[in-house]
Amino acid sequence: MVVLTLKGGCLPLFHHHHHRHVPSFSSSTRSLTNLHRHSRRFTLFARYAQAQDLFSSRRLQDSLENLPKLVEDIVQTSIDTGPRGVIRLAQGIQAFIGVGQEWLADVSKSTRSTSGLPTEMQLGLLSPVYLRRLFERMGATYIKLGQFIASAPTLFPPDYVEEFQKCFDRAPPVPFDVIKTILREELGRPIDSVYEYIDPTPIASASIAQVHGARLKGSQEDVVIKVLKPGIEDVLVADLNFVYVVARVLEFLNPEMSRTSLVGIVKDIRESMLEEVDFYKEAANIEAFRRYLEAMGLTDQATAPKVFQYCSSRRVLTMQRLYGVPLTDLDSISSLVPNPEDSLITALNVWFGSLLACESFHADVHAGNLWLLRDGRIGYLDFGIVGRISPKTWAAMEVFLGSIAVEDYDSMASALIGMGAADKDVNAKDFARDLEKVFSSIKELDTEIVVTTARDGTTTATAVSANIVADERQMNALFLNVVQVSESYGLKFPREFALLLKQLLYFDRYTRLLAPDLNMLQDQRISIASNRSKYKDRFQ
C-alpha cells in the first residue's frame, strides 16, 4: 500500500483572493466538545434540557393544549404501522439482548484487569461503540440513521459522530434462490424467458437492495438487476414510524427542541427513504434525466443507464450495464481521456444544467454513482435519491455560490434571507458578520489523498485508485453551522438547499483530485449562471 498525504489550505471551491485573518468560529461544535469533555455521560440532548421551566404554569398550559394532538398522532402512526410494528419490536429486543451480551462479556474482561471499568463500559448500550453495534444489528433504517449522525457534528457529541463514521451501508447478501423467487413473482413469467444469464454472485449488497449482473435474452445486452430485499418495506415503515413517535414525544416533553427541527428532520428522512424503496420512482427519475440529455444535445457527453421497462417493477429494476471507473480513479481516468479536467467540467455542466432543465437533479453524486465511461462520456448512476428545486431557490443559491467565491458576506446573507422562510425581520448586517466568522473556519480544513496500490496476483497489471479522505467532521460542521446560524436568525431552509450543498462538496473533492487549479464557481467554462435564465420560462 502506498499512502500519499497532502496537507493543504482552502478548498478549490472556495478560492480566496484576499486572505483576511479571521478567528476560527465553530461555536456549536466547540460547546458540544466542551460539554462532552466535562461529562462523559450521554449528553445527546443535554444542551436543550431546561428542567427548571418544565412545570412552570405557562409551559404546563402549552403542554396540556398540545397533548390531544400528540396522542392522536401516536395512535394514527400506530395504526399505520400495524402488526409489523410488533414483529420489529421483537427483533429490536433481540438485537438489544445481543449487544447487551457483548457488553456483559466485555465488562467481565475489564473487571479482571487492574485499571478498572472504562467510562465507555459504564455507559453501557448508550456508549458510542455499543449504540453503533445496536444500530447495525437493527438493519437498514438504523444504518441510515447512523450515517446521518456521522454527518451531523453540530447536533451530536464528537464521540458519537466519530464512531458512527464506521456505520457502512453494507449487508450480507440475500441467497440467490430468494432473489430468483422475487424475480419470478415480480416479472410474472419464467426467469429464463427474460434473461439469458444472471450472475448468482451479487455485484453489491446494501441494506435496502442487492444488485446482480445479467444478460438479456434475445438482444444479448449486458444489464444489471437491482432487487429490493424481501420485507424491507415493512421494516422501514415500522422503524421510521417508531423514530417519528420518539421525536414527537421528545419535542412534547421539551418544546425548546422544536427549534432543532427534529421532527422535520425525521419526516425528511422518512420521505426520502421510502422513495428509495419504490423502483418505479427511480425508473422515472432515470428516464427524466435521459430526456433532459436528449433535449439538450448532451448524449455524446453524458448518459444514464437505459431502463428496460418490460422487466422492471416496483421491486425490480433492470438497467443497461455501464462500464467505467469512478471519478476518483486517477490512473484509469488518465488512460481513458487525455485531459481529466475536461471530463470534470463536462460532469459539472451536465449536473448544473439539470438543476432547472430537468424534472429532478441527481442528489447523491458520490464516487460510486459518477463514473467516467470507457467511451469517454460521464455516466450518472443510481437515481434513488434526487432533489427538485424551484427557480426562486436556485436564484438565491446562485447568489450564495457567487458570494462564497469572492467572500462577499453581505450578498451571502441577503441570498440566504431570500432563500429561507423567516418568521421575523432579519438584521442582515449582524447575519453577514456571523457568516464571515463561520466561513473563516474553512481555512483550517486539511485534505489527505490516499493512493492505494493493489497488485493482482495473476497478472502484472496494477490498479491504482485514489480516494480523498477529507475531514468530514470539519466539513459538515462548517455547513451545518451556516444552517444553525441562519436558524438563530429565524430562517428555515427548503430541503433542497442541504442536498445541493452536499453535492457541491462531492464535486469539490473531484476538483481537488482531477483539476486542483480549477475554481468551479468562477471558471468561464462552467455555466452555472446561464442555466436559470435559459430555462426559467419552462418552470414558471
Active-site residue set? 364
Q: Which of 345, 484, 494, 535 is nearest to 28 (CA)?
A: 484
CB-count burial class (<10 Å; 0-12, 13-18, 19+) for 164: buried
Cell, residue 15: 478560492
Cell, residue 211: 444488485
Q: Which of 453, 471, 464 is nearest to 509 (CA)?
A: 471
* AA identity, residue 93: I
Torsion, Cα 146 150 154 160, to 10 degrees, reads 80
Cell, residue 197: 444469464
Cell, residue 6: 497532502
What Cα–Cα distance (Å) separates residue 154 from each residue in 66, 96, 267, 276, 294? 28, 27, 19, 26, 42
Residue with cell 447568489: 399
Please state the separation of Cα 109 from the chain's center in Å. 38
Q: How far is residue 520's CA from residue 96's CA, in Å, rounded to a whole number?
A: 47
Cα dihedral 506, 204, 266, 159 sign: negative
Q: Which of 246, 278, 267, 235 is nearest to 139 (CA)?
A: 235
**Three-class secondary structure of residue 113 per DSSP:** coil
| Alpha-helical regions (H) of 164-256 | 176-187, 232-253
Instruction: State which H helix or E strand residue 352 sits in.
Output: helix 340-357
